[in-house]
Amino acid sequence: MVGGGKDAFIGAVHRIAARIDGEYDLVAGALSSTPERSRDSGVALGLDPDRCYGSFEEMAGAEAARPDGIEAVAIVTPNHVHGPAAAAFLRRGIHVICDKPLTATMAQAAELEAAIRASDALFILTHNYTGYPMIRQARAMIAAGDLGRIRIVQVEYAQDWLTEAAEATGTNKQAEWRTDPERSGAGGSIGDIGTHAHNLACFVTGLTVESLSADLHSFVPGRRVDDNAHILLRLNNGARGMLWCSQVAPGNENGLRLRVYGEKGGLEWGQEDPNYLWYTPFGEPKRLLTRKGAGAGDAANAVSRTPGGHPEGYLEGFANIYTGAARAIRAAQASQRAPDLDLLPGLEEGLAGMRFIDACIRSSRDDAAWVTP
């Protein structure tokens, strides 16, 4: 693991997600940006001190040289480190599981793209919300035509943790780097959570954004990146949509919600209650589909661990990406292609996300003009 030392919320999430299905052992790390803190964090996690490295470069070199070196690495640093770190491992044939967004800048994204294309190793991007069983169910239903031609996509991701200037208190590392364009990229809320919303909408519908009109805004005085974004979407099949993301909406903890409407029906899902999917065939009563319940199909059941009514959550959804990655890695080691590889987000989704962020910023600077991502 690269990154994920103390104070790093997402590192612990990745570690649990990797453990849930027993497919990974954590054996090495460059967990912090200073050698000493990296070692401390590693030992605290039970790593062999010899495999606690001071930098990702050192780690990539040393692990590649070991006969028992790591097969895959998780990169969970701030965004500006994603690119160089991933490249260092990919170059050495080590599979990479990387947090989103792909990188902090378009230039870094292009460099990383080259590194990925030049490597035989796999690159998986943890757009974790695509791992939820009922999201897989929604995608499968739309692919099967249950909604008919898609007309409308309403997606939103609302939080409230940046309602005040948390980055200015001196005690909130998360808020600091996520509102720092040097580390986070030019997008604030749009990069941190808007990309998740964009990715989810595309994953579920199978559509792409053809053009968008974005009105980004920063409500908190002194904030250097957007904390709210209102975006009109035109999708490649003629569908229209809206995307709202905000980190200043009091009462919203982690409100990622997706609604899709087609000629024949509608689907509604919310991340905070992820075991439910609302399905309305036009002209019939609304149905509550539940994970592993009567209405759940193969796509959902393949990534469920417990019977209906035993709620699975964020960590299990995240674990579905990790376990899918493990299967893909195992297949790759056998020179095969995992059958469900197309369900795993990777380079393509990462580039789409970067183009989305870039397009939003371009559009917003041009007073919400329509731009092509």
CB-nearer residue toward a second copy: 115 or 150: 150
Shortest distance, CB of residue 279 to a second copy, whole angstroms?
A: 8
Shortest distance, CB of residue 295 to a second copy, whole angstroms?
A: 4
CB-nearer residue toward a second copy: 7 or 273: 273
The token pair that represents 78 in the structure block: 């701030």
Cα dihedral 195/200/205/206 (nearest 10):
70
Helix (H) or strand (E) holding 246: strand 240-246
d(CA 110, CA 100): 15
Dihedral sign of CA atoms 107, 108, 109, 114 in order: positive
Shortest distance, CB of residue 265 to a second copy, whole angstroms?
A: 5
d(CA 104, CA 91): 20
Quick one: how far is CA 264 from the chain centroid? Answer: 30
CB-nearer residue toward a second copy: 35 or 295: 295
CB-nearer residue toward a second copy: 173 or 264: 264
CB-nearer residue toward a second copy: 112 or 141: 141
CB-nearer residue toward a second copy: 79 or 137: 137
Number of Cβ within a 10 Å radius of residue 29: 27
Shortest distance, CB of residue 351 to a second copy, whole angstroms?
A: 26
Shortest distance, CB of residue 91 to a second copy, whole angstroms?
A: 30
Tokens 């378009």 identify what position? 106
Residue 261 in 3-state DSSP?
strand
Question: Residue 244 contacts by C-beta under 8 Å, 6 or more apart in sequence?
Answer: 155, 156, 157, 158, 229, 230, 231
